[in-house]
Amino acid sequence: MYRGFIIEETPSFSDKNYNTLGSDVLRGYEDAVTDSLISYIIGNDGILDGSAIQNDWFPQVNCDIFISHSHKDEDLAIALAGWLWDNFKLKPFVDSCIWGYVDDLLEEIDNNCRNVGNKTYNYKQRNCSTSHVHMMLNMALMQMIDKTECLFFLNTPNSIRLNDIETCTLSPWIYSEIGISQMIEKNPPKRYNRKTFSGIEKANISDSLKFKYNLDLSHLERINAVIFNQWAKSKFQSERALDVLYEIIPAPQL
């Protein structure tokens, strides 16, 4: 990752169906998911190959921009992905669209752990499976944020509690993604080496259980609709489009 930005206002999506376009782009990144866990069992002791599961269920893809968002803003994130592709041919990444089957993986593991005929899950085993799958997803998120060039954080009331004195979120995944983007090493794109550049499963239970996390957004630079419109006028595509964005918003001096 090289730069991170807070999206305070999005461009107008009214002139095209960017949501459909974004869905089409993101669908192209999906890999086939294995339907059964049998192939992941190592030996005769029933141990699952966690590394193989992560590689197959959370595959890494080559993208330019990681879009961090609340699950309630998924349609907005997909529309932004379509806008980025349509205007600049930049490859966006929206994890909920590509790795959204995490609950399917959990259910597959938990169903395989139940005794035949038992309709309930073992509490300790359920906690264990959730921990493993969520750690796989978190590691995949870290790797993806590290390999994309930019992170765009959709700053909406769904992501941040605006009535708090401190900047807080109720989403553990936003908390993790923003934290990762702050801590990982910032790597300028290789092209800059060649030139100088300035620049528990019941819905009623889960809905009532909430945690609050403080967010440090000081390392992210702000983008509004004016900047989006200025950027779109450049008409450049791919890497050069990102160069233009960096010129519009120069990197802070260290």
Alpha helices (H) along 89-191: 95-98, 102-113, 123-147, 172-183
151 membership: H or E segment, kind and range = strand 150-154
Q: Flag the least confident range among 50-59, 200-209, 239-248.
A: 200-209
* Global confidence as pTM: 0.81
Domain ranges of the chain: 3-248
pLDDT of residue 195: 52
Q: Show the tokens assigned to 135.
A: 């750690």
C-alpha radius of gyration, the chain, whole number: 20
pLDDT of residue 199: 47
Are the C-beta atoms of residues 251 and 2 closer than 8 Å to each other?
no
89-146 confidence digits (pLDDT tens): 999 999 888 776 778 778 877 877 776 567 788 888 888 888 888 888 888 889 889 9
Cβ neighbours, 10 Å, residue 207: 8
Are the C-beta atoms of residues 249 and 199 closer than 8 Å to each other?
no
Question: Is 211 or 185 the better-scoring residue by pLDDT?
Answer: 185
